[in-house]
Structure 1
Amino acid sequence: MPAACNFPALNVAQPESRQLANGLQVAMLSLPGTVKAALSVRVAAGSHDEPDDYPGLAHFLEHLLFLGSSGYAVEQSLMAFVQACGGQVNASTQARHTDYFCEVPADRLEEALVRLLDMLANPLLDEAAQLREREVVHAEFLARGRDPDTLVSVALGQALPAGHRFAAFQAGNRDTLAVEQAGFQQALQAFHQRFYQAGQLSLLVVGPQPLDELHALVQRHGAALPGRGRQQQSPAAALLPLRLQQLCMTLPGGAPSLQLAFALEWVPPEMDEALDFLQTWLRSEAPGGLLAGMREAGLCQGLQVRLVYRYADQAMLLLSCAGVDQAPASQAAVAAAVLSWLGFFASADRRGALHERYRTIQRCRLNSLPALALARHWQDCLAAGWNPADGLSGAGQTALAALLEQMQDARRQVRLFGGSGQMPDWPAAGFALQMQETPPVCAAPRTWAWRLPPANPFIAPAAGPVPALDIAARVRWLPAQAAGGQGVLYWRCCLAERVDVVLLQALLGVALRSLVADAAEVGVALHVVARDEGWQLSLHGPAALLPAVMQQALPVLLRPAPDAWPQGRREARQAAAQAQAEMPFRQLLKRLPELFAPPRRECAALTPQRLHECYRQARFDGLGMGIDTTEQLAIERLFHSVAALHSAEAPVMGPAGRYWQDAAIDCSDSALLLFCPLPAADAATEAAWRLLAQLCQGAFFQRLRSELQLGYAVFCGFRQVQAHRGILFAVQSPHASAEQVLGHIEAFLQAQGQRLAALDDRALARVADELRRQAQAGSPQELAERHWQAHLAGLSAQHEMDVLQALARLDRSQLLGAHRQLSEAQGGWRVLANAATPVSGWSSPS
């Protein structure tokens, strides 16, 4: 057991809700001390409210709103503004609602709110811009046609009664979005005018400002929205009887999986809190739980739970079981195990400890979520009418009994197996399906020893001895920041020799699985990432709990349990298969470190004995922020000796050449990452390149995505890859080759010289000041991450301050010099793509 820790007080801030005179629903959450602010707007209209003649219109409108409004041209719009101040912005169209959300520095909240409301109420909807954006939506449609989650949702729609909108095509593409037709334009305008008005909107604001200041802010800007009252949305068709209940489909790449879907009547209203309670224990990693039992029986390797459809009094709940054997008997055994556990949970005495634990989990979650995630979570909870801080209410317990009863009703169940086997074409709107109906198979009788999960060791920790590990460590403690008691820890284990990184990642993931789940329940995020040369562990959460989590995590990492080895090998094979199903763009991002990895050579088999030998010569480095002296001493007692962590050795700057690496990913889309390392590691060079990356970011997106319509995955920014810093360009295109994509990037860079030279000095100074402000006003986790990355790059603790000072002195000649260095590849250009090395101009890595 871990040493006793002081469990933090859980005083949960809750939003205050009001309604403005125009009908706008507003909720405000004041979080004093937070450095971030967030906005979430929900429009009570989605794809099921669009006209039947124009599938995808609601999703298309979501895209169009980011292309400028009457108050802000696209260069000053919400997306450009949020990107410029280092924030996040996105949107999502669902069946019956559409969400728009962003996170910005707290002092930029009002500027973001003004832009968000203006784009919702007054979008330009320029027809030429619509034609360009339709190509982006079409590229997204093509990519989603290979996405397993999308195809599973489409397949489940086929099981519902004819006419249900869940089966309709909702993404939109070049064929359904008839931009050139007057009827389409009229339908688009009518949809916007009907639903994008105050009576259909709910706004949630999170920030450090006092409630009266937040209310004044939303009153000042939200009251100007037009209000036309709440619009009646058409009722959904009946869920039952199901047309199909046993299906088998072809899924591109990935491991075989069994999808268990449940068509549910969503009454009483407390169903949402009941489902959240049920999901908590369905996903539990504890011995005796559903997932642990199915793994021990060799039936499946993973379980995910999600709502794929939700509106009014209807829902489709999906349990995705990964790594299921394709034999019908195995599929039947998985389904029977799930139903057996549901029956056990329905009859078990869950009162007392389990309910109180769930309440603690919810309160820890609300205390640990960042501003944007908190805004979105409260948006969902308020829409459903429940308060997660209260745990499971009495009415929620009644709803849970009804939910479990429905899930055990055979009339409501759909079994869908997805694998690589070739199935016949299935007629479906929009996305192409390969699927067929299969006969039902009964499972062989089996007795299960289900148990409720044991107590979480971090909620009620017991004092006990803390044995010192036979390892030495070097650590650096950074001064605590005002962060509401939050702390951050990074640890890196450097092995003396290379190992099989895929197996090591799976092994450590299996070994830590239950610990990660227990830590997450109390608000501690624990992640481990394996590398060829070792692994990195990161922890973020209440500082008072981090020593206890570390005390359990390190021994598990150093000596994984014997049963973790065979499970790790199985999951390593599954991970390799699942990676093939991901978008090429995402696969390449995960493989970026390969650009600087030494030539691969055969590794000796990873065994318990070999791992033990590797650890005997390993080096352990750590960095912490927000950890007080008592907590530091508790962590240091884990090691037999501790020394100060000094700056690592700076990496050797790479040769100034052009290197192309073929990732050998089989896909019809072209995906390309171009990483351009800094030509020198001094602060002045980095400052100029950071400014250059910031100035290129929005222009790159505008040129390659909006104007050239290369694809919807387009990005550029300043990044660190392994120990190397530089600018990363990333594009996935359904129609341009990798060489053509690279040509567009080169043409873009060439055009930037003239644009940068024409910028006035005040504009340059504003961008440089914004970069400095972002670096100084980051969250404690962001500050700790920057210090850690600087250490990995072999930079001094003073380097970040030197870069900020260099930004303050930076002039146009230095910026243009950085552009010249980038264009001439003075630090080298390194490409990772799913295409062979071009015949000339590029070298393969040696």
Structure 2
Amino acid sequence: MPAACTLPSLNVAQPQCRQLANGLQVAMLSLPDTAKAAISVRVAVGSHDEPAEYPGMAHFLEHLLFLGSSGYAVEQSLMAFVQACGGQVNASTQARHTDYFCEVPADRLGEALARLLDMLAHPLLDQAAQLREREVVHAEFLARGQDPDTLVAVALGQALPVGHRFAAFQAGNRDTLAVEQAAFQQALQAFHQRFYQAGQLSLLVVGPQTIAELDELAQRHAAPLPGRGHQRQSSPAALLPLRVQQLRMTLPGGAPSLQLAFVLEWTEPGMDAALDFLQSWLRSEAPGGLLAGLREAQLCHGLQVRLVYRYADQAMLLLSIAGVDEAPATQAEVVAAVLGWLEFFAVADQRGALCERYRAIQCQRLHSLPALALARYWQDCLAAGWSPGAGLNGAGQAAVAGLLAQMQDARRLLRLFGSSRPMPAWPAPGFTLQMQEAPPVSAAPCSWAWQLPPANPFLEPAAAAMPALGIAARVRWLPVPATGAGGPATLYWRCWLVERVDAGELQALLRVALRTIAADAAEVGIVVQLTAWDDGWQLSLQGSAGLLPTVVQQVLPALLAPAPAAWQQGPREARQAAIQAQAEMPFRQLLGRLPELFAAPRAECAALTAQRLHECYRQARFDALGVGVNAAGQAEIERLFSSVAPLNTPEPSAMGPAGRYWQDAGIDCSDTALLMFCPLPAADAATEAAWRLLAQFCQGAFYRRLRSELQLGYAVYCGFRQVQAQRGILFAVQSPHASAEQILGHIEAFLKTQGERLAALDDQALALIASELSRQTPSSPQDLAEQHWHAHLAGLPAAHETAVLQALAALKRPQLLAAYGQLSQAQGSWRVLATAAKPATGWSSPR
């Protein structure tokens, strides 16, 4: 049985809230130790509020707002500004709200806030730009039409009663967005004026500034916004009775999955907190839990829990259970197991201990989230009216019982099974569904030995024998940053195998071996990530410096000697992972396969066995780099190894031969995706400085040209990147209509025009770009560790980054033009990974 956790309470900052005179709701969160600032703006309007005759208008308007405003042209808009200062920005349209959010260096918060609020209140809405952006939305619609999560959500909507807007088409496409019509333009303007004003907005800012400083920024930039009061949104239609409760559908990728959707209603206070509490234990990897039990019975290999709908007093909670067999009887067994676990949890005692553990988990989460994630998380919490740092209060604990009762009500359960099996067409607006109603099937009685999750070993650390790993390591420790011991820390580990193995098998095996440990670590704010290649694996751990040594003591032994259960489940999950990967956007599939551009030709590998892995480890090399761990923590980690040597800089990787190389990824898809990576022709600091500036110069222009002007597709990217040991510039495009050769032609044409832009670049503009790049220095232990780790992998000395910054400060136009010549002439090579075969001429197969 779980015991009350003894983790010391954390001092978790709470947002301070106020309302401005114009009706804007403002929340401010001051975090003195953060080097980044974040903004989240929620507009109380979504797809359910748009005119029924123009499906997708809310989503379309979200896109349009990024295309310039009265105060900032496109080149100075939020998107361009955030890209230039190395931040991140995005938006999301939901059923009843639309979120806009960004993260920037802390000293750029005011500039970002001014741009974000101006684009919301004063967009240009130029009709010519609308026509171009409609094509981008249409390309996104086509891409989402192959996305399993999107199709599942659309299918679930079909089961709700007639008239519920969750079943309506909300994405928008070329047919529903009648940009040319005067009536559409009038409706668009009216929609924007009614909802995009202060009375509908909730602003949340996070940064190291004091509350008074954050308040002054909000007043200065938000007070002038027009305010017309809060607009009443229509009440949703009834959720019950469901029109159908058992469905089968065809999903891209072929990975079978069972979707269990629970239609819920908020009947009492505290339901949001109760739902979050319940989700924590539904996701648990602990022995005796729901997921562990299903896996042990070989009924599934994974479970995800998410809200697919939430507004007013309505919600739909979805359990996505992957790897479920096609047989209806097996599906029924899974359903019975889920309902049996809910029944067990509803009557189990000792939930009080879980409530205390939940409070500790929430505090750790709030303490460890980066600025942007924290801003978005608090935005959700404030909208729901609950404070996660307080745990589950009395109302929340009472609501758990009501929530569990609803989830055991057969009328509220919708079962949807998806696989590659062809199904007949189902009439649905917008997206194409292949689906049919399925007959109900009952499961044979089965007894499950459910248990409540045991105590988290990282919440209640106990004295344990130090594991002896019997391996040598090479380690480099960087100084503890100004936040001091107990603050955030990062560790990187790399295992280099002498003998090659199958990367898919290795990754599945090690992830299974780690998943319980990683889940426990996540509860205390430690993020554990692992990636495997055919020559070894890389592990990163990020979180509290005080907890990292304890986590390492469990993680490394699990990797070096995977438990028997991992060897049993690993091969099955490797097959499932390969199937699931086929359902991802081609753009994302190619990004994940970029290392193949520099990998040796694939060869058949002997089967991975425990004995073979043990032999591989005997000859392996283990490298590590850490930031933020104090001397005591360093010593604790180093005691795990038989010997520890300094991690010296390896020899720089040899530059590949110049030329143009094309690799067909062998992905069968309707869209075309192409990634072109252009490595540096030399590894010196001056060359890298010029190429970084060149990438910065091209980034925004590439996005505008290929995405907005040419409307090639929804996914377009350009930026400086490291692939394995090689640094360079990456160009990436996915298009629903252009061929690979056409995409390549557009990239080449774009590069030619950049020569003209560079020739017209004056010294002041060049200095400004160089200054922006120089300001993008690591601002957290995670950023610092990533920078030094990538330099190590590239064989670069510790002083390399300082040399690059010095070269940037001294960079002149002739050097930049020389770098452009190197890029355009493929002096470092052009390496393409695409979903199509190479052209007949001009390209070679990879060496």
Q: What TM-score do the two structures reach when normalised by structure 1? A: 0.99
Query: How far 1:693 sits from its partner (Å)?
Result: 0.2
**Secondary structure at the counterpart of residue 448 of structure 2:** coil
State the alpha-carbon separation in 2 of the partners of residues 844 and 737 from structure 1.
19
Q: Do residues 247 (structure 1) and 247 (structure 2) align?
A: yes
Q: How many residues align structurally?
A: 841
State the alpha-carbon separation in 2 of the partners of residues 762 and 110 from structure 1.
23
In structure 1, the partner of 2:845 is 844
Q: Do residues 87 (structure 1) and 60 (structure 2) align?
A: no
Q: Do residues 649 (structure 1) and 651 (structure 2) align?
A: yes
In structure 2, the partner of 1:545 is 547
Query: What is the 5 A alignment of 1:317-328?
Result: 317-328=317-328
State the alpha-carbon separation in 1 of the partners of residues 702 and 110 from structure 2.
27
State the alpha-carbon separation in 2 of the partners of residues 7 and 241 from structure 1.
45
Query: What is the 5 A alignment of 1:669-684?
Result: 669-684=671-686
In structure 2, the partner of 1:107 is 107
Q: Do residues 809 (structure 1) and 805 (structure 2) align?
A: no
Query: What is the 5 A alignment of 1:411-450?
Result: 411-450=411-450
In structure 2, the partner of 1:577 is 579
Q: Is the 8 A contact 2:6 2:460 kept in 1?
A: no
Equivalent position amino acid for 2:121 in 1: A
Q: Is the 8 A contact 2:6 2:459 kept in 1?
A: no
State the alpha-carbon separation in 2 of the partners of residues 355 and 77 from structure 1.
45
In structure 1, the partner of 2:400 is 400
Q: Is the 8 A contact 1:251 1:420 kept in 2?
A: yes
After superposition, the Cα gap between the structure-2 partners of 1:8 and 1:742, relative to the gap in structure 1 and judged at 3 Å, is farther
**Secondary structure at the counterpart of residue 775 of structure 2:** helix
Query: How far 1:469 sits from its partner (Å)?
Result: 1.4
Query: How far 1:254 sits from its partner (Å)?
Result: 3.9
In structure 1, the partner of 2:792 is 791
Q: Do residues 371 (structure 1) and 371 (structure 2) align?
A: yes
**Secondary structure at the counterpart of residue 442 of structure 2:** coil
Equivalent position amino acid for 1:650 in 2: P
State the alpha-carbon separation in 2 of the partners of residues 254 and 23 from structure 1.
49
Query: How far 1:8 sits from its partner (Å)?
Result: 6.4
State the alpha-carbon separation in 1 of the partners of residues 382 and 156 from structure 2.
28
Q: Is the 8 A contact 1:7 1:544 kept in 2?
A: no
Query: How far 1:9 sits from its partner (Å)?
Result: 5.3
Query: What is the 5 A alignment of 1:296-695?
Result: 296-483=296-483, 485-695=487-697
Query: How far 1:763 sits from its partner (Å)?
Result: 1.0
Query: What is the 5 A alignment of 1:44-193?
Result: 44-193=44-193
In structure 2, the partner of 1:266 is 266
Query: How far 1:7 sits from its partner (Å)?
Result: 5.7
**Secondary structure at the counterpart of residue 551 of structure 2:** helix
State the alpha-carbon separation in 2 of the partners of residues 465 and 276 from structure 1.
36
1:571-594 alpha-carbon deviations (Å, 9 max, x no partner): 000000000000000000000000
State the alpha-carbon separation in 1 of the partners of residues 64 and 629 from structure 2.
46
In structure 1, the partner of 2:708 is 706
**Secondary structure at the counterpart of residue 189 of structure 2:** helix
Query: What is the 5 A alignment of 1:205-244?
Result: 205-244=205-244
**Secondary structure at the counterpart of residue 392 of structure 2:** coil
State the alpha-carbon separation in 2 of the partners of residues 529 and 6 from structure 1.
33
State the alpha-carbon separation in 1 of the partners of residues 164 and 6 from structure 2.
53
State the alpha-carbon separation in 2 of the partners of residues 438 and 388 from structure 1.
40
1:682-714 alpha-carbon deviations (Å, 9 max, x no partner): 000000000000010000001000100000100
Query: How far 1:160 sits from its partner (Å)?
Result: 0.4
Q: Is the 8 A contact 1:64 1:125 kept in 2?
A: yes
**Secondary structure at the counterpart of residue 133 of structure 2:** helix
**Secondary structure at the counterpart of residue 617 of structure 2:** helix
State the alpha-carbon separation in 2 of the partners of residues 743 and 404 from structure 1.
57
Q: Is the 8 A contact 1:6 1:544 kept in 2?
A: no
State the alpha-carbon separation in 2 of the partners of residues 779 and 728 from structure 1.
25
Equivalent position amino acid for 1:89 in 2: V
State the alpha-carbon separation in 1 of the partners of residues 670 and 298 from structure 2.
35
1:307-347 alpha-carbon deviations (Å, 9 max, x no partner): 11111011111100000001000110010000000000011
Equivalent position amino acid for 1:209 in 2: Q
**Secondary structure at the counterpart of residue 488 of structure 1:** strand
In structure 2, the partner of 1:752 is 754
Q: Do residues 780 (structure 1) and 749 (structure 2) align?
A: no
**Secondary structure at the counterpart of residue 471 of structure 2:** strand
> Which is further off, 260-269 or 305-314?
260-269
State the alpha-carbon separation in 2 of the partners of residues 404 and 8 from structure 1.
31
State the alpha-carbon separation in 2 of the partners of residues 41 and 387 from structure 1.
19
Q: Is the 8 A contact 2:7 2:360 kept in 1?
A: no
Q: Is the 8 A contact 1:305 1:319 kept in 2?
A: yes
State the alpha-carbon separation in 2 of the partners of residues 410 and 138 from structure 1.
39
State the alpha-carbon separation in 2 of the partners of residues 463 and 9 from structure 1.
21
Q: Is the 8 A contact 2:467 2:557 kept in 1?
A: no
**Secondary structure at the counterpart of residue 352 of structure 1:** helix
- Residue segments in structure 1 that go unaligned for 5+ positions in a row: none
In structure 2, the partner of 1:697 is 699
State the alpha-carbon separation in 2 of the partners of residues 676 and 47 from structure 1.
41
1:548-586 alpha-carbon deviations (Å, 9 max, x no partner): 001011111000001111200000000000000000000
State the alpha-carbon separation in 1 of the partners of residues 266 and 818 from structure 2.
62
Equivalent position amino acid for 1:175 in 2: D
Query: How far 1:349 sits from its partner (Å)?
Result: 1.4
State the alpha-carbon separation in 2 of the partners of residues 346 and 462 from structure 1.
30
State the alpha-carbon separation in 2 of the partners of residues 483 and 558 from structure 1.
33
Q: What TM-score do the two structures reach when normalised by structure 2? A: 0.99
Q: Is the 8 A contact 1:85 1:774 kept in 2?
A: yes
**Secondary structure at the counterpart of residue 544 of structure 1:** coil
Equivalent position amino acid for 2:783 in 1: E
Equivalent position amino acid for 1:487 in 2: A
> Which is further off, 495-504 or 479-488?
479-488
In structure 1, the partner of 2:26 is 26
Q: Do residues 800 (structure 1) and 793 (structure 2) align?
A: no
1:286-307 alpha-carbon deviations (Å, 9 max, x no partner): 0000000000111111101111
Equivalent position amino acid for 1:832 in 2: L
Q: Is the 8 A contact 1:24 1:198 kept in 2?
A: yes
1:617-665 alpha-carbon deviations (Å, 9 max, x no partner): 0000100011110000000000010010100121110000100000010
Q: Is the 8 A contact 1:198 1:227 kept in 2?
A: yes
Equivalent position amino acid for 2:385 in 1: G
Q: Is the 8 A contact 1:42 1:202 kept in 2?
A: yes
> What's the % identity of the aligned pairs?
78
After superposition, the Cα gap between the structure-2 partners of 1:11 and 1:70, relative to the gap in structure 1 and judged at 3 Å, is same
State the alpha-carbon separation in 1 of the partners of residues 792 and 266 from structure 2.
52
Q: Is the 8 A contact 1:269 1:384 kept in 2?
A: no
State the alpha-carbon separation in 2 of the partners of residues 307 and 505 from structure 1.
29
Equivalent position amino acid for 2:687 in 1: T
Q: Is the 8 A contact 1:8 1:542 kept in 2?
A: no
Equivalent position amino acid for 1:779 in 2: S
Q: Is the 8 A contact 1:40 1:102 kept in 2?
A: yes
**Secondary structure at the counterpart of residue 536 of structure 1:** strand
Equivalent position amino acid for 1:804 in 2: L
In structure 1, the partner of 2:10 is 10
Q: Is the 8 A contact 1:34 1:483 kept in 2?
A: no
Q: Is the 8 A contact 2:66 2:78 kept in 1?
A: yes
Query: What is the 5 A alignment of 1:816-827?
Result: 816-827=817-828
State the alpha-carbon separation in 2 of the partners of residues 603 and 318 from structure 1.
39
Query: How far 1:350 sits from its partner (Å)?
Result: 3.7
Equivalent position amino acid for 2:275 in 1: L
State the alpha-carbon separation in 2 of the partners of residues 634 and 542 from structure 1.
15
State the alpha-carbon separation in 2 of the partners of residues 352 and 434 from structure 1.
45
Q: Is the 8 A contact 1:12 1:367 kept in 2?
A: yes
Superposition RMSD in Å: 1.0
State the alpha-carbon separation in 1 of the partners of residues 6 and 323 from structure 2.
40
**Secondary structure at the counterpart of residue 774 of structure 1:** coil
